[in-house]
Structure 1
Amino acid sequence: MRLHDGATGATPAFGVTPEGERVERHVLDNGRLRACVLTYGAILQRLEVAGGANVVLGLPTLDAYLHRSRYFGAVVGRYANRIARGRFTLDGREYRLAANDGEHSLHGGVRGFDKRVWHVESAGRAELVLSLVSPDGEEGYPGELRARVRYALDGDALRLEYRATTDAPTVVNLTNHSYFDLSGTGDVRGHVVAMEADRFLPVDGGKIPTGGPVPVAGTPFDFTVPTPVGARRGGRYDHCFVLQGRVTVADPAGGRTMEVTTTEPGVQFYTGHMLDGVATPYGPFAGLCLETQRFPDAPNRPAFPSAVLRPGQEHVSVTTYRFGHA
């Protein structure tokens, strides 16, 4: 399913939140790609590639994002993915977070960055910079965090750059939660995925890692060779893979391809199987997510790559999505 909003980009107005905050819609166009980004949630609402095809799942109105979204296209934080039991200890002090996924904290809590209106720092023809201030104690996280995300079009690539600073020790993990469908059919099980990732994180029923990374070899999680999404496990994946390089996705029928590269150590591969078609306009497997990030529950796992950010440091993360044709 594809939602066509009919907007021309002539005005950035998109709506007003229940709290009275104005939401804008900015259109970036470099002649090869066209991206529509909302200030609400720093959401990538549309991404049109060669031929004008939209390859991300989006919603047509602010009200739909307020009530029918599953993080569609949003920048999520302060901590993307899950933190077990909604708590972590930093420098000997325990912090308790908002639990919004059973007993766990997911994507920043009840009102994460996906539900905040971001400030426009600069807007150009092919680049948009948004910023957000998360106050000390928001959703239980320590320190005032100043976050910035830059959307930039460069040829056939969309580049997302995240930066953050803090005035007190904290944890941070920012990513984009776009659902991609290169075919436009509403079913990504035929998409072929290849990952330069020889390990992944097994999880329990709450999607919390059960230990450290294990080899993908000989398991249904081996995407080191191109494999259709639906070839194993019924296409159901919601797991973090340890990256050594790029991820590629291809639609064999239409020939469209996407290559994802990142500075982050992991990528959460989610195939959208939990979309139900009732709470949202999209049904199961309508799109797949490649959420580049630190590992889930890293604040509680000293052996994982650190997600700690301290005063005087800057969190920097860059992810690039490059589109082509096979």
Structure 2
Amino acid sequence: MAATARVEDGGALADGRHVAAIVLRNGPVSARILAYGATLQSLIAPDAHGRRADIVLGHDTAADYEAHQDYLGATVGRYANRIAGAQFALDGVTYHLRRNGAGPNSVHGGGQGFDRQVFDVAEVHGGRDAMVRLTHTSPDGDSGYPGKLRVSVTYRLDVKGALTIRFEAETTRPTIVNITNHALFNLSGEGAERAATMARLMIPAGRMVPVARGNLPTGELRDVGGTAFDFRRGRMIESVIRDGRDPQIVQARGFDHSFMLDAGLTARPHLAARMEDRASGRWLEMWTTQPSVQIYTGNYFDGAKPGKAGHLYRMGDGLALEPGLPPDTPHFPQFGSARVDPARPYVHVMVYRVGVLR
């Protein structure tokens, strides 16, 4: 059967603008993408018994995403994660960014990043694959970042049920870029009683990035061997997430850390993480071309804000697998480089693959 792509009304924002929602379907797997924030609103996949369920945390309408800036499923940028002091230097010039969140730092683009923008729907089609391409132009100086940045986010759902997200960005001036998707998953189903942290997680990474106050990196790259952060052979998240003997678990109230992938920066996507949920029989893999993945276990969900169908999300109800560069990379060259120049556009390809255990 051919894959399908259709455009729906995703709801209205506070200023009255209506936001497009694009539904991609290929076989039993479907994804719904909102133009607001180029957001992955849902990913519906069958369990081991063929029962389909949404495995992505989120909200029901565009207005809900606007009212609750929790980044659920959103495209985040210009720079995903944290930049200390809300500033960075490039070619001898210091740029001051918009501050947001706790402390004098900039997080996920400074509070008015890509997650708060209505993207243009540039292309939609079905066929062998179902796809949508969304575009947005960030002006020079936007939230303090130099360069006019033309951004493209393409979602493509193939016949095997793999959802590929391709981020591209072109700048008019040297700048920094780190774009990712901020979906939080629960393989038992969004709103399920079973916590996402009851899944088994594998990460092919021998080093992680320790954090200090404000969850900012110390600059160290630490071996995971013998610690709660060793997921190389796979382990249940619940078995280590409450290990108060590990200062890093205490600092982040769980996992909110970057893992340096053994494959590093690659031209083609490589496996960065695999989750397995025995209760539903579902598995999810995340592949990326980037050198690290941020693992976040929803540590600040307190049941105070409703999500889809009025579900109150609690700590551990979702797990984020955010590929990209580690937080605060502009201040730590040992992590890599976030620099993008006019002659060298930014490209990041990530893939969510879903299936059932045999």
TM range (shorter): over 0.9
**Residue in structure 2 matched with residue 212 of structure 1 by the alignment:** 220
Match of 1:70 in 2: 70
Answer yes or no: is the 8 Å Cα contact 1:58–1:73 preserved in 2: yes
Question: 1:234-259 deviations in whole A, cap 9, x for unaligned?
Answer: 28100000112521100022211011
State the distance in 2 between where 1:37 and 1:15 align. Answer: 12
Within 5 Å, which residues of 2 pair with 1:284-295? 284-295=315-326
Q: Is the 8 A contact 1:21 1:117 kept in 2?
A: no
Aligned position for 1:36: 32
**TM-superposition CA deviations, 1:67-116 (whole Å, max 9, x none):** 23410100000000000010000000000111112211000012110010
Higher strand share: 2
Equivalent position SS for 2:115: helix
Instruction: Identify the residue that residue 267 of structure 2 maps to in structure 1.
Output: none
Query: Runs of 5+ in structure 2 lacking a partner?
Result: 244-253, 264-270, 307-311
- The residue number in structure 1 matching 2:249 is none
Deviation readout 1:210-249 (Å, 9 max, x if unpaired): 0131100011111112111111132810000011252110
Where does structure 1 lack aligned partners over 5 or more consecutive residues? 1-8
Q: Which amino acid aligns with 1:138?
A: D
Q: How does 1:74-223 map to 2 (within 5 A)?
A: 74-101=74-101, 102-125=103-126, 126-154=130-158, 155-184=160-189, 185-186=192-193, 187-223=195-231
What is the CA RMSD across the aligned residues, in angstroms? 1.5
**C-alpha displacement at 1:63, in angstroms?**
2.1
Q: Deviations over 1:12-43 (max 9, x none)?
A: 21223234433111100111310000000001
Go from structure 1 to structure 2 and tell me whether the alpha carbon gap of 1:168 and 1:11 turns closer, same or farther (over 3 Å shift): closer
Q: Structure 2: how far apart are the matches of 1:262 and 1:130?
A: 20
Distance 2:337 2:6 in 1: 43
Which residue does 2:309 correspond to in 1? none
Equivalent residue, structure 2, for 1:5? none
Deviations 1:245-278 (A, max 9, x none): 5211000222110111110000000011211111
Residues 169 and 346 in structure 2, CA contact (< 8 A), matched pair in contact too? yes
Q: Please give the secondary structure, in 1, of the residue aligned with 2:20.
A: strand
DSSP-derived class of the 2:21 partner:
strand
Identity %: 42
Q: Structure 1 pair 32/263, CA: closer, same or farther in 2 (3 Å)? A: same
Which residue identity does 1:321 align to in structure 2?
Y
* Pair 1:19–1:144, CA change in 2 (3 A): farther
Secondary structure of the corresponding residue to residue 85 of structure 1: helix
Q: Distance in 1 between matches of 2:288 and 2:142?
A: 28
Q: Is residue 100–residue 110 contact of structure 1 (8 Å, CA) maintained in 2?
A: yes
Shift of 1:158: 0.7
- Structure-2-length-normalised TM-score: 0.86
Note closer, same or farther for the CA distance 1:14–1:233 as it changes in structure 2 (3 Å cut). Answer: closer
